[in-house]
Structure 1
Amino acid sequence: MKKLLVLGILFFYFNNSFAQEERKIPFSVAISSHLIKYNQKIDAAYQDRDLERAEFLFDSLVTNHLNGTYMDNFNVYPLKGESISLEEYEKPIFLITSASWCVPGIGEIPALNDLADRFHDQIDFVVLFWDTKENLKEKVKEYTQNIKLVHIDEKTNQDSYIINKLKHALGFPMMYFMDSNKKILDIRKIVTHHSSETLSNSYSIHFNSLSKGVSLLISNLDLNSETSTTESDTIQNKDNRSEEERNIDEEYEIYKREQDSLNNNTKRKNN
C-alpha cells in the first residue's frame, strides 16, 4: 500500500512538472492556423477603406496569436561567406524584412544606423532582403557595419515553408523582435510618412519608432538577467542567512563535531 502511495505521489509530481513546461509553438504553425480568417477580415477592412480596423486586426493577430511563439530556424545569406542559420545569432534579434524595391523614409536608415552603433553589443541588428545578392550589394554603403545585411532568394532557398510565411503572410517591410531563444516578443510595421518630410522630421519619426523596439529587447534582456540573479541568490541564500551567519554556523558545527568526538573517546576509555 505504501509503495502504491509513493508511486502515486511521484506520478503526480512528474506529471505536474511536465504540464508546467512552456509549449514552444513555432511561428509558422501559429500564423498558418490564423492566416485564412485574418486575410478574410483584413481584405474586407481594406475594401471598406477602414484603415483603423485593418490596424486593429493586425495588432490583434500579433498580440493574441504570434507573440510568444518561436521563430522557425532558417538560413540567410550574407554577401561574403557561407549561409547562416537564424539560431546562430546568440543575442536578441532586431530583424527587419525588406527588399531593394522598398523605398524607406529619408531618415529611416540613418536612425537605424545610430541605434545599431549604440546597442550592437547587446542586440543583433539584422536586415533581411527578399532579393538577390547583386541587388543587396547596392545597399551595403547605406548601412553601418554594425547591421548584418543578409538576403534570401525565394526561388533557390530550401526553407520555403517559413520563407513563404515571413514574406507573404504579413508583408514587408516588417520588424520582428526576438529574444536570444528566438521567442517573438513583438512584430511591428515600419512607420511611413509623406515623402515631403524633411530629413530631420523623418529621422525623428523613425528614431522614435525604432527605439521602442530596442527598448523592448533591452528591457527583456535586463529582466532575464535579474531573474537569473534572483534565482542564483535564492539558491545560495535559501535559508535566509547572511554570509557571516553561515560562517559562524559552520564554525559552530565544526566545534560541535570536535566536542562530540572528544566525549565519545572519553566514554570508550571509561568503558
Structure 2
Amino acid sequence: MRRFLYALILSLSLTISYGQDTITYLSEAIKENINPYKKASNKAYEKRDFEEGRNLFDSLVKNKLVGTKFDDFSLKVYKDKNVKINRIQKPVFIITYASWCVIPKGEIPALNILAKEHHDDLQIVVVFWDKKKDLKNIAKKFNDNIKVCYANEYYSKDSHIVASIKHTLGFPTSIFLDENKNVIAIKHFDSKIKIKTPIKEAITCSYNYFSKDINENMVKAL
C-alpha cells in the first residue's frame, strides 16, 4: 500500500511538473523569435515592401505568439491601485499607446462606448508607454470602465514589460487575452480616419473597427 501511494504521488508530481514546464510565456516566445523577424522585416521595409512587412508580423503572431501565456505583469493604474493582468477574472483587451502620439479622432469615445457595453464580459486596458505626469490630460478622456495604465523605462519595475512588449511589438498595438490569459490575438492597427472627418463619423468608424475585432476574438476565446 505504501509503495502504491509513493508511486501515485510521484506520478502526480511528474504530471504537474510537466504541465508547468510546457507553459510558454509571451515574453519567452518573443525573445526566442524576435531577432529573425526583425532581420527579415528590416529588409522588407528597406525595399519599401510594406505588405511583406505586415505579412511577416502576422506570421510571427500566428505561428509563434498566439497560444502563449501572458506574463504576470503588474501595471500602474492612473489614479488607482496597481493591477496584475492575470488577476482580472475575464478576457482582457489591451491597447498600447504613447501620449506623444496623436490618437485618431473618434478612437477614445468609441473605446468608451465599447467598454461600457462589455462591462460584464471584458476588461479594456489602455497602456501608455509614459510617466504618470505625461497622462495628466489624456487619462481623463477615458471613462471609468477602462483601466488607464502606464509603464516607462524610468521606472525600474517596468523594465520587463517595456523590453518584452514596447521594444519588440511596437505601438499602437492591441493584445487580446482569454479569461485564462492565453494570447488570442496581437495586432498592429493604423487608423485610416482623416483629420477633417466629422466626429460622429470618426466615432462610428472606430467603433465598428474595434467592435468587429473584439467580437471575433471573444468567439475564439470560448
Shift of 1:212: 2.5
Structure number having the greater helix percentage: 1
Q: Specify the alignment match of 1:39 in structure 2.
A: 38
Deviation per residue, 1:119-145 (Å, 9 max, x gap): 011111110111111221211231121
Deviation per residue, 1:43-65 (Å, 9 max, x gap): 11111111111110111010010
Query: SS at the partner of 1:158?
Result: helix
Q: Does 1:131 align with 2:130?
A: yes
Structure number with larger C-alpha Rg: 1
Query: SS at the partner of 1:71?
Result: coil
Kindly provide the amino acid, as one letter, of the partner of residue 146 in structure 2.
Answer: I
Q: Between the two proteins, what is the percent identity of the paired residues? A: 36
Q: Verify the 8 A CA contact 1:92 1:217 in the aligned structure 2.
A: no
Assess, with a 3 A threshold, how the Cα gap between structure 1 residues 81 and 57 changes in structure 2: closer, same or farther: same
Aligned residues: 215
Q: Verify the 8 A CA contact 1:107 1:199 in the aligned structure 2.
A: yes
Q: Specify the alignment match of 1:71 in structure 2.
A: 70
Structure 2: 5+ residue stretches without partners? none
Kindly provide the amino acid, as one letter, of the partner of residue 172 in structure 2.
Answer: P
Query: SS at the partner of 1:112?
Result: helix
Query: SS at the partner of 1:150?
Result: strand
Query: SS at the partner of 1:77?
Result: strand
Assess, with a 3 A threshold, how the Cα gap between structure 1 residues 197 and 43 changes in structure 2: closer, same or farther: farther
CA distance in 1, matches of 2:97, 2:63: 25
Q: Does 1:106 align with 2:105?
A: yes
Q: Specify the alignment match of 2:27 in structure 1.
A: 28
Q: Specify the alignment match of 2:52 in structure 1.
A: 53
CA distance in 1, matches of 2:80, 2:206: 31
Structure 1: 5+ residue stretches without partners? 1-5, 224-271
Normalising by structure 1, what TM-score? 0.71
Shift of 1:165: 1.7
Q: Does 1:205 align with 2:209?
A: no
Q: Verify the 8 A CA contact 1:102 1:173 in the aligned structure 2.
A: no
Q: Verify the 8 A CA contact 2:152 2:159 in the aligned structure 1.
A: no
Q: Verify the 8 A CA contact 2:45 2:53 in the aligned structure 1.
A: yes
Query: SS at the partner of 1:95?
Result: strand
Q: Specify the alignment match of 2:188 in structure 1.
A: 189
Shift of 1:20: 9.1
Query: SS at the partner of 2:77?
Result: coil
Kindly provide the amino acid, as one letter, of the partner of residue 139 in structure 2.
Answer: V
> C-alpha root-mean-square deviation of aligned residues, in Å?
2.7
Assess, with a 3 A threshold, how the Cα gap between structure 1 residues 135 and 35 changes in structure 2: closer, same or farther: same
CA distance in 2, matches of 1:182, 1:45: 32
Q: Verify the 8 A CA contact 1:106 1:202 in the aligned structure 2.
A: yes
CA distance in 2, matches of 1:63, 1:149: 27
- Between 201-210 and 134-143, report the one with greater CA deviation: 201-210
Q: Verify the 8 A CA contact 2:151 2:158 in the aligned structure 1.
A: no
| Superposition map of 1:233-252 within 5 A | none
CA distance in 1, matches of 2:195, 2:104: 7
CA distance in 2, matches of 1:141, 1:158: 25
Normalising by structure 2, what TM-score? 0.85
Q: Specify the alignment match of 2:214 in structure 1.
A: 214
CA distance in 2, matches of 1:205, 1:217: 19
